[in-house]
Amino acid sequence: MLGYIRRLIPVHKLVFAVHDIVITSVLLYLMLINGRPYRFADMAERYYSSFAFLLIAMIFIFKFNGMYRYQVFLNRSRHIVVLIKCLILSMTLHIYFAFFMKFPEVTLSRSFVIETYLILFGVLLITRVIIIPRAYFTLVKEGKLSVNMLVLGAGEKAREKVAAILKDKANYYKVVGFLDDDPLKQGKVYDGIPVLGDVTKLSEVVKEHKVNDVFIFIKKINEEKLQAIIDHCISINKPVHVDSSLYEIVNERLSVEQISSTSTFRVVPTKARTYYDIVKRIIDIFGSLFFITAFFPVWLAIYLAVRTTSSGPGFYKAKVVGKDEKIFYMLKFRSMYHNTSKKLHEDKVKEMIIKNEATTKLVDDPRITPLGKFMRKYSIDEFPQLWNVLVGDMSMVGPRPNVPYEYEHMRNWQKKRFSVLPGMTGLWQIKGRDEVKFTDQIVLDFYYIENRTTMLDLEILLKTIPVVLFGKGGK
């Protein structure tokens, strides 16, 4: 069980997460009972929903504001500023539900709520900002939080990054060695760290030295080989930290993990996501049902507008490639004139993939209706895909599906994006949309696939809202 948790959560994040849950739970419990002599059973029945809501909301706020990142908890002044911001957001959410949404279980006096959060700030300031970092550093210094790491790549760049990690007083990693395919480096020792062989010995070295984490610091490597190494690490059930400079688009557009002065993104074995797919499917079902029923009059009005402004059906069924490379029909509101040729788009797609160009749409495409141009800019034509989500062909979040003639031109390593359900929105939609090159699009999809969590899905959904409202990147 501990090994399972260790793969999911780095040591420092686990320490702070457990602390936040325990401290916040105790204080919220005291706040909710407000000195009233409830028995625990009565309290659980009366206040369970509000207690759970407030606790989960606060942990989400902490997560979204980077309270579990090295660059926050190692910098005391920044830690305090972010803590204040998180508690103000939590308190505002609390007061909103208590006094505006008439949430009866938490309708307490405003002064009492403010007093409770001031106490919470004082407790977290002492424990989270002062005591835990000191205790953490002591345990690291004494080697009681030691974690074995293996480094792929023994070049100058890799050695520099390893030296920076080992120099960091917060570092809990112990480097067992390097792996490098360069024969001239085989058997050498750099700063006391041996080169244990080439990359093909990964499984053997991991087992022999009880490696917990693998770091990839190879200076020159193509995307296909890099993806093969990542897949190998996942196959042996080990987290892998990839130097973000190897995937420049990740470094430019995403908030990556900071370890000392080294930026990486962490890939967790998919076996550690047993319950994620279940939760994701539940969210997809209830989310799609809600939006279909709540906005049904709007969808009907758009359908009628499409039918009356140009001849042809209101919906367009696009033949696309989905999970496990299976074909399905994706629904859209029709944005083009009926029965127009696809050749113009096929030629554009072929050129985009072969030349690795940005995924810009055709300028002044004569096939698009005036209403269709407006719908495309704000992604209104995509909303019928809620039906695809409901029936299980798609998800709310995931890589976008490809049409068959896109699939035909893709290289084998790029087809890993079909290992999960395609989504209505995804990382490259919120990180650039039409500004992202095709290969970078694939890389962002890979980043999502390897790091997908319920938290990341919710973050993508929230960040999709302004992209849709302001039509960013849409044409």
What is the average pLDDT across 419-440? 79
What is the average pLDDT across 58-81? 80
Note whether 281 and 424 are same-domain residues. Answer: yes
Note whether 160 and 124 are same-domain residues. Answer: no
CA distances in angstroms from 377 to 7, 381, 465, listed in the order given: 41, 9, 13
475 occurs within a structural domain: no
User: Can you give the pLDDT at residue 8?
Assistant: 42
Structure confidence at residue 311 as a pLDDT band (50, 70, 90) = very high
The Cβ-side half-sphere exposure at 327, using a 13 Å CA radius, reads 8
| Residue 167 structure tokens | 């120099």
Question: Is a pLDDT exceeding 50 seen at residue 358?
Answer: yes
Domain that holds residue 90: 2-141
Helix axes 223-235, 438-451, angle to 10 degrees: 10
Note whether 286 and 431 are same-domain residues. Answer: yes
Question: Is a pLDDT exceeding 90 seen at residue 244?
Answer: no
398 neighbors 428 (Cβ within 8 angstroms): no
158 occurs within a structural domain: yes
Structure confidence at residue 102 as a pLDDT band (50, 70, 90) = low
415 occurs within a structural domain: yes
| Residue 263 structure tokens | 């930026």
Q: How many residues belong to the chain? A: 475
Structure confidence at residue 2 as a pLDDT band (50, 70, 90) = very low
Most confident of 61-65, 224-228, 321-325, 373-377: 321-325
Question: Is a pLDDT exceeding 80 seen at residue 425?
Answer: yes
Please name the amino acid found at residue 65.
N
Note whether 223 and 285 are same-domain residues. Answer: no
178 occurs within a structural domain: yes
Domain count, the chain: 3
Note whether 315 and 454 are same-domain residues. Answer: yes
What is the average pLDDT across 5-32? 67
Note whether 328 and 441 are same-domain residues. Answer: yes
Question: Is a pLDDT exceeding 80 seen at residue 95?
Answer: no
What is the average pLDDT across 382-410? 93
Note whether 268 and 305 are same-domain residues. Answer: no
What is the average pLDDT across 238-260? 65
Last residue of a domain, one of 225, 254, 272: 272
Note whether 253 and 303 are same-domain residues. Answer: no
Note whether 342 and 442 are same-domain residues. Answer: yes
Last residue of a domain, one of 272, 299, 324: 272
User: Can you give the pLDDT at residue 78?
Assistant: 85
What is the average pLDDT across 362-385? 87
The position carrying tokens 């899905």 is 457
Note whether 304 and 448 are same-domain residues. Answer: yes
324 Ramachandran zone, left/alpha/beta (phi>0; psi -120 to 50):
left
User: Can you give the pLDDT at residue 325?
Assistant: 93
Helix axes 276-294, 296-309, angle to 10 degrees: 70
What is the average pLDDT across 36-64? 65
Nearest to 172 by CA among 126, 218, 141, 211: 141
Please indicate whether residue 460 or residue 45 has the higher confidence score (pLDDT).
Answer: 460
Note whether 241 and 296 are same-domain residues. Answer: no
8 occurs within a structural domain: yes
Helix axes 11-33, 132-141, angle to 10 degrees: 150
The CATH number of the domain holding residue 157 is 3.40.50.720
User: Can you give the pLDDT at residue 56?
Assistant: 78
Most confident of 15-24, 289-298, 337-346: 289-298
Structure confidence at residue 140 as a pLDDT band (50, 70, 90) = confident
Last residue of a domain, one of 80, 112, 141: 141
Note whether 297 and 435 are same-domain residues. Answer: yes
Most confident of 248-257, 322-331, 372-381, 420-429: 322-331
Query: What is the chain's mean pLDDT, rounded?
Result: 80
Question: Is a pLDDT exceeding 80 seen at residue 27?
Answer: no
What is the average pLDDT across 427-453? 76
